[in-house]
Chains A and B, each alone.
Chain A
Amino acid sequence: MTQMRTQPETATTAAAEAQPVIEMRDISITFGTVRALDEVSVRLFPGEVHALMGENGAGKSTLIKALTGVYTIDSGVITIDGEQHEFHSPAASQAAGISTVYQEVNLVPNLTVAENMLLGREPRRFGSINVREMNRRARRTLLHLGIDVDPRTVLDEHPIAVQQLVAIARAVDVEAKVLILDEPTSSLDADEVEKLFTVMRRLRDEGVAIVFVSHFLDQIYEIADRMTILRNGRLVEERMVAETSQLELVRLMIGRELETLDKLDRAAPRTESETGTPVLTAVGLGRKNTLEATDLELFEGEVVGIAGLLGSGRTELARLLFGADTADTGDLTVRSHKRRLRSPRHAIDRKIAFSSEDRKAEGVVGDLTVADNMLLALQASRGWLRPIPQATRTRLVKDYIEALDIRPADPTALMRNLSGGNQQKVLLARWLITDPEVLILDEPTRGIDIGAKAQIQAKVAELAAKGMSVVFISAELEEVLRLSDRLVVMRDRRKIHEQTNDDVSVRDVLEIIAGEARGEERTDA
């Protein structure tokens, strides 16, 4: 490692021939009878961003956990700077210079930003924590990353995006040879992603090897130098990013499932359904410090896509429509009846369903089974005294496991053991089982693999075709545009634009959002 840094010319000109800082050779890990990793080899070079590619369940997370000492490998060799190492604990891996930021923010919400960043390695004076020094060090690191956060504030006060950046700051604060970023961008908006990439580039130029996992292909092409593609726990190929086209990459990752996406593109007819009475009408719906008064109409058989950056008010609007937060102003009319939604329960009784963007905290009930998770909303609305009959339970669960291709197809599996994509499908099933008229999906495809994503998108199109009114929110504009019949653009906590989706392009939407920034009013709603 130090050798590499003292000889920059070899590092930059001949990376391929350089010695990898870490080499994992023929790594296998078995859980029970499941082979999670089967003789996978990966090489990480100093001064490179290395993307780990593959669907959920391909073995990316397992590989990372093998490298960070969370899992013990069954066979294979890990060498660091040519020396063989064995990690039996995350601490051992950290001591060897490997730092990790996991997919979900793994911090302590009620500690301060500085405390989180330096947790476990607090500067001490006379045996007690030196708070001033801690804040000073945290501020310096944050400044280095260009993150404008007061280190003395409590972490919980900040949005997920900022918490994510703090997690990265924590990892960067350790002098790391290898920085592993597992889905760091899934909850960041474009600006924040750019900020993160700036930091990643800086660290890369300092000679750090960065492992990057992301489901956003554009990000891979923007930042990564080399990639390793995994499928079903096996190594597919190691490639240089510049020498691989996106189409080729997707094919390597998923193969046949690409057809589902193609089919979807053809099968999404734009419906002209703004006739008759809307299923749901919001007039001046708003909440202090959350959302300015907003009007919205939802019609049968229509997908309304809500586009906007993180913090634009897209999630806040969805929560008000569902009664997850209560509105202080405005009226909501459901099927020509004026309603005040004081709780999610009220909304569910009016046949409105809402799947939250925060799957882990607001959707998944980890220690219950897949079946119980699926039936939770229906059971809740029936009340505890009227359990769903066993025969109905079995049938509903079996039907939805099949219809949504949930794996494992085992109703008794614990929810927390499922991959993100399958959890998302179970949550979708939870709401479909309540037979809603309005289905609000906030980021239903975040952090899940392309196969599951295509299946969920196809399902949304199918539901709308059957007459359901769907609100679809996603940070991925392509996805919103592909699915929606009507498009609502939000910015700065209010609706700035609404139009029928007649082949609107991503560029158009970005211009609408940016146009507002230049002060042009473009509201034609």
Chain B
Amino acid sequence: MPETATRAQRVLRHPLLWPVMALVVLLLVNVVAKPSFLDVRMQDGHLYGNLIDIMRNSAPVMLVALGMTLVIATRGIDLSVGAIAAIAAAVACTRIIGAGDEAALSTAVMAMTYAVVVCIVLGAWNGLLVSVLGIQPIIATLILMVAGRGISMAITDGQITTVNNPFFSDLASGFVLTLPLAFLVAVAMVLFTAVLTRRTALGMLIEAVGINPEASRLAGVRARTIIWTVYAFSGLCAGLAGLVIAANTNSVNANSLGLWIELDAILAVVIGGTSLMGGRFSLAGTFVGALFIATLARTIPNIGIPSEVNYLFKAVVVIAVCLLQSPKARALLRVRRSAAPTLAKAGSPA
């Protein structure tokens, strides 16, 4: 019975336990390889160190995974996020270059606003294909995944476009209250989304549509609007991620920006405990999952994995985490350990 469960049992059953454990173990591995890994120092009023880098680097994946979480909760998937990120970067950078005063704050704000609006429209396009035309999400978003690269190439004329705007580059390298701005932006989006879904009924309706679309329709849920909304939101998140990535290098390479980020984002969502079958989603889980992905990227050079096998290493770690989370795999582990508790259970009074 849940009300009689001890605190330890409640912690053990908490869905965030395994993602957090995985993150902690990964950090420990790094400390063992290099004891100074967790050191954080203060310099010029900013914090520096591996942990701070991980925070900053996690921002793009966290943003993309955030939108992906809601899409996956409706039984969908959004493969176009990487391409949308590239389009956002391309739009913003060409706007900044084309503006009268390339380095002005107003230029940066205008360019980013423009990019974000374009991305919401692109997300809405995905939503249209999925919810109105009924195309399977993986196919519907594959269209933009492929076409989007072409669009961003066209916007940048196939050139690597470099910009020079200090306000824009602050988005990636700036600090606020000693912490990286990019990370704070991502966290703010997570919090905003949490409030949006959990303080309103949006989260519950998204889950209902994801768990049983037909029952939801018959209960009067406007599934079409909800699905449309989450894809548009995913477009928005992908756009923000694209801006952060572009700001980090002050440039956009339409060919490579945000490449494969959809896979990292899906991994972050899954590691965070949201099922690809749709339904219940966990934003906190996605937050931890994104940190895990960023930590993993940092781990590879830190513990000296040769660069030629780093993808392989990543795959092995991901498999291990997924196995840890799988109830079946855990049950197998438990069976080996717990013949005694079963007997005790049978002997307890009804």
Contact = CB atoms under 8 A, between A and B. Distances in A.
Given A30-B345, A380-B205, A384-B226, A368 B218 contact: no
Contact of A376 (B219, B346, B348): B219
Interface stretch (A124-132, A138-146, A273-281, A354-362): A354-362
A74 B342 contact: yes
Contact of A379 (B1, B201, B279): B201
Given A30-B345, A362-B218, 20 more contacts: A30-B350, A32-B1, A33-B4, A34-B350, A38-B350, A344-B217, A345-B222, A362-B214, A362-B215, A363-B218, A365-B215, A367-B211, A368-B207, A376-B221, A379-B204, A380-B222, A381-B220, A384-B200, A384-B201, A388-B201
B264 to A, nearest CB: 26
Contacts of A384: 200-202, 205, 226
B208 interface: yes
A364 B219 contact: no
A28 B280 CA distance: 33
B348 A30 contact: yes
Contact of A364 (B212, B280, B348): B212
B199 interface: yes
14 contacts: A343-B217, A356-B215, A365-B211, A366-B211, A368-B208, A376-B208, A376-B219, A379-B201, A379-B204, A379-B205, A380-B222, A384-B202, A384-B205, A384-B226
A387 B342 contact: no
Given A384-B202, A384-B205, A388-B201, A344 B215 contact: no
A32 B221 CA distance: 36
B139 to A, nearest CB: 17
B345 A74 contact: yes
Contacts of A34: 350
B131 interface: no
A382 B201 contact: yes
B199 A364 contact: no
A453 interface: no
Interface in B74-121: none
A75 interface: yes
Interface of B: 1, 4, 199-202, 204-205, 207-208, 211-212, 214-222, 226, 279-280, 342, 345-346, 348, 350
Contacts of B219: 344, 348, 376-377, 380, 430
Contacts of B216: 365, 376, 380
Contacts of B348: 30, 33
A366 B220 contact: no
B339 to A, nearest CB: 12
Name the residue in B201, B214, B216 with the highest tally of chain A Cβ atoms < 10 Å from its Cβ.
B201
Contacts of A322: 218
Nearest to A358: B214
A14 interface: no
Interface majority SS (helix, strand, loop, mixed), chain A = mixed
B346 A354 contact: no
A337 B84 CA distance: 47
Of A34, A74, A75, A322, the most chain B CB neighbours within 10 A belong to A74
Given A356-B218, A430-B219, A367 B350 contact: no
A324 to B, nearest CB: 6
Contacts of A387: 199-201
B255 to A, nearest CB: 39
Contacts of A182: none
Contacts of A30: 345-346, 348, 350
The 9 closest A-B pairs by CB, nearest first: A35-B350, A74-B346, A380-B220, A348-B220, A384-B202, A380-B221, A377-B219, A387-B201, A384-B201
A348 B219 CA distance: 8
Interface in A7-60: 28, 30, 32-35, 38
Interface residues of A, number: 40
A372 interface: yes
A73 to B, nearest CB: 9
Interface of A: 28, 30, 32-35, 38, 74-75, 322, 324, 343-345, 348-349, 354, 356, 361-368, 372, 376-377, 379-388, 430
A400 B205 CA distance: 21
A299 B350 CA distance: 50
Nearest to B226: A384
A365 B208 contact: yes
A37 to B, nearest CB: 10
Contacts of B205: 379-380, 384
Nearest to A434: B220
Contacts of B200: 384-387
A367 B218 contact: no
A74 B342 CA distance: 8
Contact of A344 (B202, B212, B220, B342): B220
A368 B346 contact: no
B218 A354 contact: yes
Contact of B346 (A75, A380, A383): A75
Contacts of A365: 207-208, 211-212, 215-216
A388 B207 CA distance: 17
A348 B345 CA distance: 48
A322 B220 CA distance: 11
Given A35-B350, A384-B200, A367 B220 contact: no
Contacts of A345: 220, 222
A299 to B, nearest CB: 24
Nearest to B198: A387
A362 to B, nearest CB: 5
A32 B13 CA distance: 14
A372 B279 CA distance: 13
B277 to A, nearest CB: 9
Contacts of A377: 219-220
Contacts of B221: 376, 380
Given A74-B342, A385-B200, A388-B201, A344 B218 contact: yes
Contacts of A376: 204, 208, 216, 219, 221
A383 B226 CA distance: 10
Given A38-B350, A376-B216, A368 B211 contact: yes
B346 A361 contact: no
Contacts of A366: 211-212
B267 to A, nearest CB: 22
A209 B342 CA distance: 32
Contacts of B202: 384
A314 B323 CA distance: 48
Contacts of A363: 215, 218
A69 to B, nearest CB: 15
A434 to B, nearest CB: 8
A34 B4 CA distance: 13
B208 to A, nearest CB: 5
Contacts of B350: 30, 33-35, 38
Contact of A372 (B208, B214, B222, B342): B208
A278 B200 CA distance: 38
Contacts of B212: 361-362, 364-366
Contact of B280 (A324, A354, A367): A367
B72 to A, nearest CB: 14
B263 to A, nearest CB: 26
Nearest to B222: A345
A34 B350 CA distance: 6
Nearest to A73: B346
